[in-house]
Amino acid sequence: MIGSELRAELSDLLGKAVRFDVALARLTSLRVGGPVDAVASPANRADLCATLRRLARARVPHHVIGGGFNSLALDAPVAGVVIQLSRWRRLEERPGHTLRVEAGVSHSQLARFCCDRGFAGLEFGAGIPGTIGGWIAMNAGIPGREVGDRVVEIEVAGPSGARISHLPRAVLQFGYRSLRGLAPGSVILSALLRIDRGTPAAVRAEVDELLARREKTQPLSVPSCGSVFKNPPGDYAGRLIEAAGLKGHRVGGAQISPLHANFIANLGGATASDVMELIRLAKERVRAHSGTRLECEVRIVGGAA
Q: Which residues are catalytic?
A: 177, 227, 297
| Separation in Å, CA 212 to CA 141, 205, 220, 236, 269 | 17, 11, 11, 21, 29
What number of CA atoms fall less than 13 Å from residue 87's CA on the CB side? 12
Q: What sign does the dihedral 190-67-71-17 (CA atoms) show?
A: positive
**What contacts 139, CB < 8 A, 6 or more positions away?**
146, 147, 148, 174, 175, 176, 177, 178, 179
φ, ψ dihedrals at 214, nearest 5° = -65, -40
Alpha-carbon distance of 245 to 223, in angstroms, equals 22
Burial of 82 (0-12, 13-18, 19+ CB in 10 A): buried
Provide the pairing of β-strand 145-146 with 151-157. Answer: unpaired
Burial pattern 84-117, b for ≥16 Cβ within 10 A else e, equals bbbebeebeeeeeebbbbbbbbbbeebbebbbeb
The secondary structure element, H or E, covering residue 12 is: helix 4-14
d(CA 64, CA 82): 6
**Residue 58 burial (CB < 10 Å; 0-12/13-18/19+)?**
middle
